[in-house]
Structure 1
Amino acid sequence: MPKQVIVHSSIESVEIIDTPIPTPKDHEIVIKVIVSGTNPKDWKYPLWKGWSHNSGDDIAGIVHSVGKDVYEFKPGDRVAAAHEFGTENGSFAEYSVALDWVTFHIPHNVSFEEAATIPSAAFTAALALYSDMDVSPPYLSKEQEGSGEKTPIILYGVTTAVGAFAAKLARLSGLHPIIGVAGRAASFARDLSDYVVDYRAGEDSIVSAIEDILAKEGLDRKVRYGFDCVNEQGSLETTLRLIDTNGGQICTVLPPSLFSRTKENFKWPEGVKGTNTACPQVQTTLKDFGYIWARLFSRLLADGRLTAHPYEVIPGGLNGILIGLQKLRNGEASALKYVYRIEETGKVAAPKISEANAATKSSQDTKPVKDFPFPVKDEVSSSS
């Protein structure tokens, strides 16, 4: 019988259980998982909510069966998808389930490993830019390069998967200069950004460096767009110092009430629109947005305008899930995604968990995040 992984809320163990192949409902697609990707939420949600479940959401595989209302996919198709957050049959399994509108065909030039890095992070980046902020999408944008027009954007955490996809999409939309804030992965950050600022220099140095960049580019000292893809250690407060208080916009990947310096007392500055970008919206309130961007991902990947995120394969298939989640929890990932080749389960030995690794905890383990990752919107604007 097919297997799936249940991630225990302690993030110290998992359980591999037998699970029948799901039967797809109306708009569902059952996918034989070839490669599963991982995201930070895959360990955070079980731990913070105390919920043991199959927390994987990034799927790359082959269509096994489809629901009665699915017409764009058929058995045998190579696809990637974002599993519906918080539901059964996640991607840490031999068979997973996704909704058809957030599923996309994998072009022949893209591997399953590459495809598994894309869904959740790319949808989040697209939501931030094109739904939560008013950036013009690539298919509507006028080319700015050579026109003398400049629209800068600050991406704090540009080498995270979400930040990297945001940088790639922002470039396709003609935003310039792209100012990335990064640390260890400076080389990758330079590939994504026009300018890179090292966050390790401290808040005042970051702000000063970005102000110098803006001056060099002949721009105002405040920018219209900012995206905090890190959400820790003052990243939001630093970015906000550079956002225009006359209509500037900023997005975060977590609600500021959970990670800002003032937590539940946090308020957006007057004149700034702030939004907590939540990926599950593409499966609930923004279905059309999810549909459009899923199809566009295929097109952009096929012609090379969009590329996958760097990745590292954790050996052992389902037996390696815990290793990857603990490495994410311990902050070991830098500018890469951990992925798992499901067929390796039982065939390739997974790395052993060292006592040191098992004992290491992130400082976030005890955060009071009972509402993570909702509310879907954590927004206050000057008009409210």
Structure 2
Amino acid sequence: MKEALVQPDLSVRIIESPIPTPGPDEITIQVVTLGINPIDWKAADPQVANALLGMLKAKQYANPGKDIAGYVHSVGSNVQEFKLGDRVASTNHGGGFAEYAIGPGFTTYLLPNHVSFEEAVSYGLGYLTAALNLYKELRLSEPWNPATETTPLVIYGASSTVGAFAVKLARLSNIHPIIAVAGRGAGFVSSLLDSSKGDVVIDYRKGSEHVISEIQRSDPKAQNVLDAISIPESISLLSSIPDPVNRQMSLVLPPEAPTVNPRINITVSFAPLLWEPNDPSGPDGEITARIALKAFAYITFRYLVHAQANHLISPHPCEVLPGGLEEISGGLKNLRDGKNSARKYILRIT
């Protein structure tokens, strides 16, 4: 099979590799479409990768692709949910920039008939990260147990894949008002909101003072905050909203300590931890198996099947890049250079 290895300068080298053999709890997928995420270019830069992923024990990939959709090619000995030929989508820690790739059982799910492979691959890591932030870190009501009281939620970076899926999941959870902060994608974000329940979009291009005042207008306490961008500038802005008592702020990347207000309860929902072998925060410390987080992912993706089948959730806008695996380089460079807004790059390779 053909496989794309991403170089530090974000060029790609296409090589011939054997079709991967699934482990007992894995599925080998013949890839039809693949998605490109911001973390994919960051993982290709040695310095950035070490800062983000250096503490991880899981294997690091020269092929960092994470989101794929296609047909089941083979299954591991413990897999009962899938059979050869099934239409599926999956998210893994790497290996997805190839004609065949491994899908872990806990993040692989069956596609309803009406969901195209292009639509399917728009979910993946972004959808999972949004769910982790809302339900694991902020402990908000899930869609199957929706909120019965007013629950304001601030989402910074709401036009990003993570931010947009956070908006969609929040609405399914009856979490309102949603105070969504966006820039060029503000129009797209506005289409996802319900103004009758107090949802608003704030344009960060109007400056920090404007953003803070508008957040306070809708949510004076700002107790539930999701920063889907998690760069020093966004963390600093959200930390400077007055009256931080009881504020929870969930990030998608580890913060730089000087930018964080010590009075705010900061948590980080870093999806790559899903593929770590152990959970140091578990009851047995370093030797605790990472069971709970994998169970969370399994349930979250099974809910996605239900939501897709019943037309409760929509895919993220996509831009299909022309060509084959070689085009991964251009998508990664555009993400690095900030040329993408409110859409996800995908490739169709079969």
Aligned to 2:282: none
Map 1:83-94 onto structure 2 (within 5 A). Answer: 83=92, 85=93, 87=94, 90-94=95-99
Q: 1:117 aligns with which of 113, 118, 122?
A: 122
SS in 2 for 1:256: coil
User: What one-letter code is carried by the residue in structure 1 that aligns with 2:181?
Assistant: V
Q: Give the whole-Å Cα distance in 2 for the aligned partners of 1:101 and 1:205.
A: 42
Aligned to 2:16: 18
For each residue in 1:97-116, what CA deviation from the matched residue of structure 2 results, as whole angstroms up to 9, or x when unmatched? 01111111111111100111
Aligned to 2:225: 226
Change beyond 3 A, Cα 1:139–1:243: farther
User: What one-letter code is carried by the residue in structure 2 that aligns with 1:35?
Assistant: T
User: What one-letter code is carried by the residue in structure 2 that aligns with 1:198?
Assistant: D
Q: 1:210 aligns with which of 170, 195, 215?
A: 215
The answer to whether structure 1 residue 280 and structure 2 residue 258 are counterparts is no
Q: Give the whole-Å Cα distance in 2 for the aligned partners of 1:155 and 1:41.
A: 20
Aligned to 2:41: 43
SS in 2 for 1:320: helix
Shift of 1:38: 0.7
Map 1:53-72 onto structure 2 (within 5 A). Answer: 53-72=62-81
User: What one-letter code is carried by the residue in structure 1 that aligns with 2:167?
Assistant: A
**Residue range with higher mean Cα deviation, 50-59 or 273-282:** 50-59
The answer to whether structure 1 residue 164 and structure 2 residue 169 are counterparts is no
The answer to whether structure 1 residue 199 and structure 2 residue 204 are counterparts is yes
Contact in 1 for aligned 2:34/2:68 (Cα 8 Å): yes
Contact in 1 for aligned 2:232/2:259 (Cα 8 Å): no
User: What one-letter code is carried by the residue in structure 2 that aligns with 1:123?
Assistant: L
Change beyond 3 A, Cα 1:273–1:154: same
Q: Give the whole-Å Cα distance in 2 for the aligned partners of 1:175 and 1:287.
A: 25
The answer to whether structure 1 residue 29 and structure 2 residue 13 are counterparts is no
For each residue in 1:141-200, what CA deviation from the matched residue of structure 2 results, as whole angstroms up to 9, or x when unmatched? 24x4xxxx4211010000000000000111111111111111111210101232011101
User: What one-letter code is carried by the residue in structure 1 that aligns with 2:349?
Assistant: I
Q: Give the whole-Å Cα distance in 2 for the aligned partners of 1:328 and 1:101.
A: 28
User: What one-letter code is carried by the residue in structure 1 that aligns with 2:294?
Assistant: K
User: What one-letter code is carried by the residue in structure 1 that aligns with 2:69?
Assistant: A
Aligned to 1:349: none
Q: Give the whole-Å Cα distance in 1 for the aligned partners of 2:192 and 2:237.
A: 21
Change beyond 3 A, Cα 1:287–1:200: same
SS in 2 for 1:234: helix
Q: Give the whole-Å Cα distance in 1 for the aligned partners of 2:192 and 2:164.
A: 7
Shift of 1:52: 7.1
Change beyond 3 A, Cα 1:52–1:65: closer
Change beyond 3 A, Cα 1:290–1:180: same
Change beyond 3 A, Cα 1:291–1:283: farther
For each residue in 1:250-308, what CA deviation from the matched residue of structure 2 results, as whole angstroms up to 9, or x when unmatched? 11111112xxxxxx4454432x3211111123444311101111111111111111111
User: What one-letter code is carried by the residue in structure 2 that aligns with 1:277?
Assistant: S
Q: Give the whole-Å Cα distance in 2 for the aligned partners of 1:41 and 1:319.
A: 18
Unaligned runs of 5+ in 2: 51-59, 194-198, 277-289
Q: Give the whole-Å Cα distance in 2 for the aligned partners of 1:107 and 1:21.
A: 26
Q: Give the whole-Å Cα distance in 2 for the aligned partners of 1:211 and 1:277.
A: 25
Q: Give the whole-Å Cα distance in 2 for the aligned partners of 1:243 and 1:342.
A: 49
Q: Give the whole-Å Cα distance in 1 for the aligned partners of 2:245 and 2:214.
A: 22
Contact in 1 for aligned 2:74/2:84 (Cα 8 Å): yes
Q: Give the whole-Å Cα distance in 2 for the aligned partners of 1:49 and 1:137.
A: 32
Aligned to 1:364: none
Aligned to 2:89: 80
Map 1:215-294 onto structure 2 (within 5 A). Answer: 221-232=220-231, 234-242=233-241, 245-257=244-256, 264-270=257-263, 272-284=264-276, 285=290, 286-294=293-301
SS in 1 for 2:27: strand
User: What one-letter code is carried by the residue in structure 2 that aligns with 1:269?
Assistant: P
SS in 2 for 1:107: coil
Contact in 2 for aligned 1:61/1:112 (Cα 8 Å): yes
Contact in 2 for aligned 1:7/1:52 (Cα 8 Å): no
User: What one-letter code is carried by the residue in structure 2 that aligns with 1:99?
Assistant: P
Q: 1:100 aligns with which of 100, 105, 108?
A: 105
Shift of 1:243: 7.4
Q: Give the whole-Å Cα distance in 1 for the aligned partners of 2:107 and 2:243.
A: 34
Q: Give the whole-Å Cα distance in 2 for the aligned partners of 1:319 and 1:46.
A: 15
SS in 1 for 2:114: coil
Q: Give the whole-Å Cα distance in 2 for the aligned partners of 1:105 and 1:279.
A: 21
Contact in 2 for aligned 1:224/1:243 (Cα 8 Å): no
Q: Give the whole-Å Cα distance in 1 for the aligned partners of 2:121 and 2:82.
A: 18
Contact in 1 for aligned 2:216/2:222 (Cα 8 Å): no
Contact in 2 for aligned 1:31/1:97 (Cα 8 Å): yes
Map 1:120-139 onto structure 2 (within 5 A). Answer: 120-139=125-144
Q: Give the whole-Å Cα distance in 2 for the aligned partners of 1:236 and 1:325.
A: 24
